[in-house]
Structure 1
């Protein structure tokens, strides 16, 4: 598929072609999220001890989660840089580059000496690699989503857009699975000394597989149409700022995204440290529970993506946000019992079933906020800038609130419910008339660009 003319109509591709595209999206995002999540898990289990040692274990954890948040601060940079490249040069080339950056950065994390060995240079090198991870993911997510959405036939954007979202669940399964397996087959000392490094070094293998599949994929029909007509935006970010409708959609998209980021990082990142340090739950138990929730998520995401094609995506998203907010307190209480059965059931339901109600339609919902010629930049700005607070700061904020309230959940719930209201209202305020649910507006843009190039 990498040679020959590039069709501008999705109907020109065979089912086999489409399967390769979807597989490249799933595998690519799996690799990216596996690498990114490893850091989140290691921050609360390893890095707080080896790279940010402190007499107060909670302070060490907060410092480690602060370095975790740095990756999210770097993501908007990657989103803007690769969003520009993706809107100007194409989706495929961008995705190959981001995968290579992520793979190299993750492998290097696995070989960085500890604070005890090289002192301050250890956390400095760790944070540098984390920044590279953030830049890579910042460019990856938007491109993978658009690769899927822009290949979708009429009425299937929600389903196709949910496929790259599966990569988050699979990456989480692999990350928690590898950590749980390594922790089970070796002593705590061996795992802390060198075992955790194996998980990061395995990234090189996953990147090789991902690149092999991704290089077989052709550019999306929607971008090929713009390229053929020479209708690409000169500076996509400027087009976003100039257009009033796009500015409104950016703000509402970021508001809607907030609750999704908080929910995922609460139930897939923070919960691991909270359960092991505050509730004395065995590390293997909570890691396995998160892994089970992620496995359930793999099957539920495409189902919810398909439902978003049948029902209003905006309303479905808002209802999912509300459900996540309402369930947070009783779910945390159930996990606080320490009962493994209740822990598995709770995380399985919240992370595996309820969270996909929000996460599955998110890709197509945000993609439809912008026309093709500025879509990569637009979706990256929405997802990555909001991710600084919505995702990156969540473990840090929740850890701080827990510490300041002496372990009580009240302050955490106030934060979660406030975010729930903001996100639900933002999703509801997105207007259908401001969404690009078909290619009509894109076709008009192509025609305007063609006329401008011809002149009067």
Structure 2
């Protein structure tokens, strides 16, 4: 059996060269997704803490935070477009080049946000430029996750795809941790000036490192094997998906619903809600997010490895049901304004309930598509669900305002999303160990 087949089809004893290639792919995917999600999450933090004042100073506090959350949601509209464009080229010509390109667009857009003058300096041009750069960010990240997940799963042994796939998700978790850490370390009084620009500007250094690492990665063996086979003229991957692959895309989108709502409640909404409505400080929230993402670095690989042993469906269903049951206690604990209870709620919700769903996605989704449309298929399912995620902070803010400050509508919103997720998981078949080729 060839080295490529040993890596792709799951032999337990991988040759040294195969192990080296797998380690390189794992490292490049982890570094690349960490950088891209760092770039994305620093915007979410800044939107909650700073941007209403910097870019929307003429609006009321409620209108200002809604406007800031609108710019947070805008890139989720271009993420599906990025999924289609990068997926097309990744499925037809290879995964590597698209990953290098998406990283470059994301890094340069983030750096540019740090240079945008405030509303006081250039008026309406400031939020207009922010919106343009956010659209570019969304387009870039639309191609990032699917490419990184496809590459890593196609390289991994079949009996450990769940575990190795989590290194793509760890990029998200570590990106949250590092972005939160940067804001937590910044002096709070610096945020009233130009201190908020620092996390955006230093991303250019991360871009240089990530681009270098990605340039060293070889194309995946599964893709190379498929590309060597003589084939008749094929439809574009998106056309093939629309003709024969709509169901797995919609299932993947539905499976993400509860997870993405919970994730953006924790990451995007609670910074504003906890500080403006509950009365906690931004430091309380940032410390809780640091702890949650720090623990997630442990729990995400743990749940991925568990899915290799007992299957993808049981682990995913456990996370969806746990998040649904925790929907009301989550806000009961937050609304006490007790920092300890707030800390426990965020850590448990993110590092346990969300992590169980999030960890399984790269392997579960990748195993649901054939090689010729895998990049496009998993990117579309993942990014279409992100539209709901991007709107979650706005929806939650609106629900609280309509309920005169009560949080119960948000809990119902979260429970509904988790019910959709659980139903979609039950509608799938087990994919663990399925042959990718």
Normalised-by-shorter TM-score class: over 0.9
Q: Does 1:211 find its partner at 2:215? A: no
Match of 1:404 among 402, 406, 410: 402
Q: What's the C-alpha RMSD, in Å, of the aligned pairs?
A: 1.7
Aligned partners of 1:323, 1:120: CA distance in 2, in Å? 44
Kindly tell me: are residues 339 and 113 of structure 1, through their superposed partners in 2, closer, same or farther at Cα, counting changes over 3 Å?
same
- The question of whether the paired residues in 2 share the 8 Å contact of 1:88 and 1:233 is answered with no
- The question of whether the paired residues in 2 share the 8 Å contact of 1:94 and 1:139 is answered with yes
Aligned partners of 1:256, 1:426: CA distance in 2, in Å? 6
What is the CA deviation profile of residues 2-24 of structure 1, one whole-angstrom value per residue up to 9, with x for unaligned ones?
xxx99565256432222111111
Aligned partners of 2:394, 2:217: CA distance in 1, in Å? 39
SS at match of 2:195: helix
- The question of whether the paired residues in 2 share the 8 Å contact of 1:9 and 1:221 is answered with no
Aligned partners of 1:258, 1:186: CA distance in 2, in Å? 34
- The question of whether the paired residues in 1 share the 8 Å contact of 2:177 and 2:294 is answered with yes
Please state how far the C-alpha of 1:241 moved relative to its aligned partner.
Answer: 1.3
Q: Does 1:254 find its partner at 2:253? A: yes
Task: Report which stretch shifted further, 61-70 or 8-17.
Answer: 8-17
| Number of the residue aligned with 1:175 | 179
| Number of the residue aligned with 1:239 | 240
| Number of the residue aligned with 2:192 | 192
What is the CA deviation profile of residues 174-221 of structure 1, one whole-angstrom value per residue up to 9, with x for unaligned ones?
111001111xx352xx32220000010011011111112111111111
- The question of whether the paired residues in 2 share the 8 Å contact of 1:8 and 1:224 is answered with no
Please state how far the C-alpha of 1:55 moved relative to its aligned partner.
Answer: 4.2
Please state how far the C-alpha of 1:253 moved relative to its aligned partner.
Answer: 1.4
Please state how far the C-alpha of 1:331 moved relative to its aligned partner.
Answer: 1.8
- The question of whether the paired residues in 2 share the 8 Å contact of 1:102 and 1:137 is answered with yes
Aligned partners of 1:436, 1:228: CA distance in 2, in Å? 26
Instruction: Give TM-score, length-normalised by structure 2.
Output: 0.94
| Number of the residue aligned with 2:42 | 38
| Number of the residue aligned with 1:343 | 342
Match of 2:417 among 416, 419, 423: 419
Please state how far the C-alpha of 1:50 moved relative to its aligned partner.
Answer: 1.1
Match of 1:95 among 77, 99, 104: 99
Aligned partners of 2:3, 2:66: CA distance in 1, in Å? 49
Aligned partners of 1:82, 1:436: CA distance in 2, in Å? 26
| Number of the residue aligned with 2:145 | 141
Aligned residues: 428
Please state how far the C-alpha of 1:348 moved relative to its aligned partner.
Answer: 1.6
Instruction: Give TM-score, length-normalised by structure 1.
Output: 0.91
Specify every segment of 5 or more residues in structure 1 that has no aligned partner in the other structure, as ranges.
443-456
Kindly tell me: are residues 55 and 373 of structure 1, through their superposed partners in 2, closer, same or farther at Cα, counting changes over 3 Å?
closer
| Number of the residue aligned with 1:299 | 298
Kindly tell me: are residues 36 and 265 of structure 1, through their superposed partners in 2, closer, same or farther at Cα, counting changes over 3 Å?
same
Q: Does 1:73 find its partner at 2:103? A: no
Please state how far the C-alpha of 1:430 moved relative to its aligned partner.
Answer: 1.1
- The question of whether the paired residues in 2 share the 8 Å contact of 1:8 and 1:225 is answered with no
SS at match of 2:258: helix
- The question of whether the paired residues in 2 share the 8 Å contact of 1:33 and 1:171 is answered with yes
What is the CA deviation profile of residues 138-168 of structure 1, one whole-angstrom value per residue up to 9, with x for unaligned ones?
0000001011100111211101111110011
SS at match of 1:430: coil
Task: Report which stretch shifted further, 226-235 or 209-218.
Answer: 226-235
Aligned partners of 2:352, 2:411: CA distance in 1, in Å? 21
| Number of the residue aligned with 2:227 | 227
Aligned partners of 2:352, 2:253: CA distance in 1, in Å? 23
